[in-house]
A and B are shown apart, each in its own frame.
Chain A
Amino acid sequence: MRYVDEFRRPELIRKTSEEIRHLADPARHYRFMEVCGGHTHAIYRFGLHQLLPSNIELVHGPGCPVCVLPMGRIDDGLAIAENPGVIFTAFGDMMRVPGTRGSPLEHQSRGMDVRIVYSPADALKMAVANPDRHVMFFAIGFETTAPSTALTLIRARQQGVRNFSVFCNHVTIIPAIRAILDSPGMRIDAFIGPGHVSTVIGCRPYEWIAKNEHKPIAVSGFEPLDLLQGILMLLRQLSDGRAGVENQYARVVPWEGNRAALKAMSDVFELRPYFEWRGLGFISQSALRIREEFSEWDAERRFAVPGIRVTDPKAAQCGEVLKGVLQPAQCKLFGKECTPEHPVGALMVSAEGSCAAYFNYEHRKVAAGVP
């Protein structure tokens, strides 16, 4: 194990890794899903599989916000920005995600006013600074970013800023996990619960997975030791025949979550009856929309939204990879038509997308002949 000494607390890492090897039943094949895209990135970056026995497979989940957004929503957002005077704002992650007629960045090169913001609050400030324009913020993300969008809308209303709107694409993590568990032929033994999403929602919402589906879950941090400890917690539960929710990341994640953030979200958003996810299809009550009280700031109400639905290119297997049915390199386009330089699917764009993570840390290494 060449890398361990570069990590923090290498002794403990070795010990935990040994314990995992000891506890893992050689007659079994374990499939653990890490729900969060940040974990996917960390797992590849740290080469964590080197510290795990080969019968523990880490399956990448749907927790990469830009990856699960169907292409039609990108087209819809860009259609809104075609209206005169509109400035399209979004996080940097969104800028290279392909729509039917190109990414936001490509639209920018064709003359659309597209600007990166790092915070929804900055999009609101841009609206204040440009009173003769309309600033539309393309909001994406799970419960980690949704409270910030919510508070920005609360501030917009307080300040009476009328030339600002949000195109809301916020999604919630629990229904996605449920959809994965419901999909036919899917076998996941346990879940590594997301770190940052859980600082907002807490650990309670996962209890049904343990109770009804009998799957252990361990909310984990992002360091190598955190992830290994999370995996060890899952193994211990499985070998004891238990299924519960455990919090490896208690130093950051409170069991009850962040009540102020949850309140801001519920003040501003309500559940959509259903929403389309790339690869997972329509999932009921899985996404947020802006409440009536804030309709003035809802881009979907202010502008005519075409409601575009596009099917992904046939050969692209983003859906299978998102569900954990295929590993990234098993997609027919991986590393050929689809690379970080020329992404076909969003999983190849974001640092949290499993295809990009795999390409950057594994594929390049193999290509360069590094063992």
Chain B
Amino acid sequence: MCLAIPGKIVELIEGDNPLATVEVLGVRRKVDLGLLEPADPGRAGDWVLIHVGFAMSKISEDRAREQLELLEALGEAEAAALEVRGYSNLET
């Protein structure tokens, strides 16, 4: 469960809590941004590293690409895709 999966914030979701639609490995999921530094919250277009469904840090696009390649190299890309598809759907 220590996979760090990069995703791109597509749009912020209006509401009390900082939620966003994030595109991760080709699928869109609702991700909680509440663990990002409040002084530097996520915006549409930002890349974030996701752990167990929560954005844990903002990263650059280059870092995101590196992380994807690393998951591939570690043989974890499939496990990551399974994890992301396993996050419950946007509608639910």
Which residues on A are within 8 Å of B, measured CB to CB? Answer: 7-8, 36-38, 41-42, 45-46, 65, 91-93, 116-122, 125, 129, 140-141, 144-145, 147-148, 151, 154-155, 158, 196, 199-200, 222-223, 251-252, 254, 258-261, 264, 351-352
Q: Could you tell me the distance between the alpha carbons of A119 and B51 in the complex, rounded to whole angstroms?
A: 8
Say yes or no: A7-B63 contact (C-beta < 8 A), given A122-B53, A144-B2, A258-B57: no
Residues of A within 8 A of B57 (CB): 199, 252, 254, 258
Q: Could you tell me the distance between the alpha carbons of A116 and B88 in the complex, rounded to whole angstroms?
A: 12
The reply to whether the CB of B20 lies closer than 8 angstroms to some CB of chain A is no
Contact A36 B52 (CB under 8 A): no
Say yes or no: A147-B74 contact (C-beta < 8 A), given A252-B59, A258-B57: no
Partner of B73, one of A7, A118, A151, A351: A7
Say yes or no: A119-B56 contact (C-beta < 8 A), given A151-B32, A258-B35: no
Residues of A within 8 A of B1 (CB): 65, 91-93, 140-141, 144-145
Partner of A260, one of B2, B4, B37, B87: B37
Residues of B within 8 A of A145 (CB): 1-2, 51-52
A148 to chain B, nearest CB (A): 4
Contact B69 A200 (CB under 8 A): no
Residues of A within 8 A of B84 (CB): 118
The 23 listed contacts between A and B (C-beta, < 8 Å) are A8-B66, A42-B74, A116-B86, A120-B52, A120-B53, A122-B87, A122-B88, A141-B1, A144-B2, A144-B51, A145-B1, A145-B2, A151-B35, A196-B56, A199-B57, A200-B56, A252-B49, A252-B63, A258-B36, A260-B34, A260-B35, A261-B35, A261-B56
A7 to chain B, nearest CB (A): 7
Q: Could you tell me the distance between the alpha carbons of A206 and B46 in the complex, rounded to whole angstroms?
A: 30
Q: Could you tell me the distance between the alpha carbons of A118 and B57 in the complex, rounded to whole angstroms?
A: 18
Q: Could you tell me the distance between the alpha carbons of A93 and B86 in the complex, rounded to whole angstroms?
A: 14
Residues of A within 8 A of B53 (CB): 118-122, 148
B73 to chain A, nearest CB (A): 7
The reply to whether the CB of B26 lies closer than 8 angstroms to some CB of chain A is no
Q: Please, what's the 1-or-0 string for B53-71, where 1 marks a CB less than 8 Å from any CB in chain A?
A: 1101101000100100110
Contact A258 B56 (CB under 8 A): yes
Q: Could you tell me the distance between the alpha carbons of A118 and B52 in the complex, rounded to whole angstroms?
A: 6
Q: Could you tell me the distance between the alpha carbons of A352 and B2 in the complex, rounded to whole angstroms?
A: 8
Which residue from chain B places its CB closest to the CB of A254 in the assembled complex? B57
